Amino acid sequence: MNQPNPELPDDPVYSRKVLEMLTVANEFCLFIEKSVDYPLTELLQFLQKVCPLIYLKASLLPDIMVENEDVTEHYVTEEQWESVFGILRGKFGERDVFYFIDKNEKSHLDPQRGSLAECFADIYQDLKDFLLLYQKPQKAFKENAVRDCKYLFETRFGYRLVEAQTAIHYMLCQNNWKETEPEPED
């Protein structure tokens, strides 16, 4: 049975579920920011483990009633996104491209081309914005951070996690996986 923490108010915005999501999001963002320093195999193994954890923790976020919707902010700039994307694309090289079926596209079920670098740059952006907004001292910022993270999980990065997880599983578990770094794409 969970014992309430007397130092935290009895409020969903400070709940254990939110704090656990913050922890996982922070680990993911820190690793992505230093991904240039890791070999591809280590990067893929980290992503293989952290993607399901992010998915689980985000799915458990509570519904938050926001008192002031005007305090939502976004922090990750286009330049930061491009930097993360470029580093990851260079790491993944020819393995960056994968195919998936977009279940939201009702007109056809043809395989769609995806990019691991794009998926993880998008996830990084959503989670980094969540972390930075939650760090603001006023409760209204924290409420918006949790609400936005839950919404983006349901509409965007949850899908991205699942799409990328399949591609990573295939890369790590196929019989002909080579532990050499891929040739960067031009």
Q: Map out the domains of the chain as residue ranges.
A: 12-173
Residue 48, both tokens = 């293989």
- The DSSP element (H or E) to which 79 belongs, if any, is helix 78-92
Give the Å distances, CA to CA, from 75 to 39, 58, 80: 28, 20, 9
Question: Do 140 and 68 touch, CB atoms closer than 8 A?
Answer: yes
Question: What pLDDT does 180 receive?
Answer: 54
Question: What pLDDT does 117 receive?
Answer: 97
What's the maximum distance between 2 C-alpha atoms anywhere in the chain?
A: 55
Which residues on adjacent β-strands are paired with residue 111?
Answer: 101
Reading the chain (186 residues) residue by residue, the pLDDT tens digits are 455 444 556 789 999 999 999 999 999 999 999 999 999 999 999 999 999 999 999 999 999 999 888 878 889 999 999 999 999 999 999 999 998 877 766 666 778 889 999 999 999 999 999 999 999 999 999 999 999 999 999 999 999 999 999 999 999 998 555 555 555 555
Q: Coil, strand, or helix at residue 123?
A: helix
Q: How many H helices and E strands in the chain?
A: 6, 2
Distance between CA 183 and CA 41 in Å, rounded?
14
- CATH classification code of 12-173: 1.20.120.1550
